[in-house]
Structure 1
Amino acid sequence: MTPSGFLAHAALSAARDLTRTAAEIAGEREMLAELFSLRRHLGQIGNNVNQVAKTLNSGGDAPQAEAVLAAVHRAARRVDTFTQNYLDSERPAA
């Protein structure tokens, strides 16, 4: 399933469930907003990686390569944090 498909499915499922509380809905909105933000951020970083690769493949220097790689690492940590938060929210309370 594509990220867009997942988001559409999640939004439609949420709209059909009339038993959820306002707090649950707010929490899901925060998660969906973060997921959209992550997707946009990863797209931007992917574009930067492609620019660095094009420059290096054409024999040029890419002084921004380290900054782009640092952004990739930060984005990966952000995805990990989002995933862990999502999994934690899905676990039943003990």
Structure 2
Amino acid sequence: MRHRTRQPRQRNRFRNVRLSDSELALISAGAKAAGMTDAGFLAHAGLAAARDLTTTAARIAGDRELLAELFAARRHLGQVGNNLNQIAKILNSDGHAPQTDVVLDAVRRATERLQAATVRLLDQ
């Protein structure tokens, strides 16, 4: 049996990466399209991101900000939905709900906030 000779530029450092099934599928598809192995593709993509830290950091910060906004809008809609359910209960029992206009205005604002965050996400 012949020993395999090492190439002078071969990588000799090792890292483990945990991926979900969908993430692995995306990476495998990207690697296949580029004619690379999964490991080579990950190394190439990671090095490309590391070489442009300002853009990468800005993108990550923007993504985090966008996710925070989406979660806040979702939380706001949940709170408003609870208020709307309380108003519906009062109105169904022939009661009077003076705060209806305030809650409907909150629904409109929360919907606009969620719409704006969604547009930002789609524009990326």
* TM value normalised by structure 2: 0.55
Query: 1:70 and 2:114 equivalent?
Result: no
- Sequence identity (%): 57
1:29 to partner: Cα distance:
0.5
Q: Which residue of 2 is the match for residue 24 of structure 1? A: 59
Pairs within 5 Å for 1:52-63: 52-63=87-98
Query: Which residue matches 2:84?
Result: 49
- RCO greater where, 1 or 2, for CA within 8 Å and sep 6 or more? 1
Unaligned runs of 5+ in 1: 1-8, 90-94
- How many residue pairs match? The answer is 76
Match of 2:94, SS state, is coil
Corresponding residue number in structure 2 for 1:39: 74
Structure showing greater Rg? 2
Q: Name the TM-score, length of structure 1 as normaliser.
A: 0.72
Separation in 1, partners of 2:115, 2:78: 17
Q: Which residue number in structure 2 is paired with residue 3 of structure 1?
A: none
Aligned to 1:82: 117
Q: Which runs of 4+ in 1 moved over 6 A?
A: none
Q: Deviations over 1:7-59 (max 9, x none)?
A: xx8xx9xxx98437111110110011001101110110000000000100111
Query: Larger % of helix: which?
Result: 1
